[in-house]
Each structure stands twice: as C-alpha cells, then as structure tokens.
Structure 1
C-alpha cells in the first residue's frame, strides 16, 4: 500500500489526490500497478468520474509531470473526451425491472 501512496489509517479518498504529482508518481509506479490492483482500479474509476483517464495521467507523470498536472489543475477539466465502453454482461439493462424500494405495508 505504501508503494501506492495510500495509508490504511486514512479516512476517505478524493479525486484531488490524482492531481498531486507525488501521489500520482507513486500510484503510477510499477510497484503499485503490479502489486495493488484494487487500489489502481479504485483510482482509475475515480479519475474516470472526474473525466480523466488514469493511464494518460501516468503517461503525463512520466514525461512532463509539472506541466501536465498544472494544465489539468488550471483548466479544471479532463484531459479529453472519453467514449463510453460496452456495458458488462452482468449489468442490468435500462429496461430491466429493478425493485429497490421497500415493499408497501
């Protein structure tokens, strides 16, 4: 976990972490990618939620971290549009009836 820059005792996560070049360097390190897939997956999804692509952030980190991170921070926008991928076969279709409400008394 330390190789990814996270601590078991910390509470909560924030998308701000991926804009921190020191954190991103640890998250994008081979030690983190190869040994902590759950952490990488978590921050991958968090970055996607913000409109960024973690692999692009990692590439920026390796090539020119200060300039790339400053660009992301100053614009407040994502690196670019991200096309939606195919939905998982196990995901319910929009027309599937899903009852999330409690049964009426």
Structure 2
C-alpha cells in the first residue's frame, strides 16, 4: 500500500505546482501593469485603445510582436517606473520620449540604468531602430 502513496503524492503535487506557475499573458493583465510588462512568450505587452460597441474608447492590453531576448514573465515594478520617468498609461511602444531631455536624464540616472534593465533595454532598442 505505501508504494501507491508516493506516485499519488507526486501527481497531486504536480497539479498544485502547475496551477501556481501561471503564465503571463498580456491580454489577461490589468491595464495598470500592462505597459513595460513582458509575457511568458518573451514578447512585450503594450497598451492600446479600442473603440467599444458604445463608441467609447477603452484601453486594452495586447501582445506586441517585439521580442525581448533575455527576459520573460516580467511585470515592471513601480520603483523602476518612477526612477526611469516612464508612464504606465503610455499607448503603444514609441521612442518619442527620447527626444525630451528630462526623460533621457532620468533614463541615464544610476537609479534607472543600474536597476531597471527592462526599461533600459526597451529604449536602447528603440533608439537603435531609429
């Protein structure tokens, strides 16, 4: 009888482990953490506007086609959002903020560039693509 308990225990443990290791899917994220998040697939999440049936504009979190090479399953923390001077309500992925001197000084400040590799990587790649 004891030899049946171990496989049963392992099977039940695997069910609980699978449930606790939830994937990050952009479309399932709340809008307030969407921008600067990275899905389990390694693609960046972005906030978009969509016109609803009642003609009202709504925000929706979507998966972009932009792949991140060294990160996945990541939601940017509030400390990095503040330190780097980015806005969680940013629509899409744009390099426009790189033209603002205040933004680039925050992005290059030690609090951002040493502690927030996700945001630095995003804007480095945007600048390289320009």
Task: Output the TM-score relative to the length of structure 2.
Answer: 0.36
| Structure with a larger share of its residues in strand | 2
* Bigger radius of gyration among the two: 2
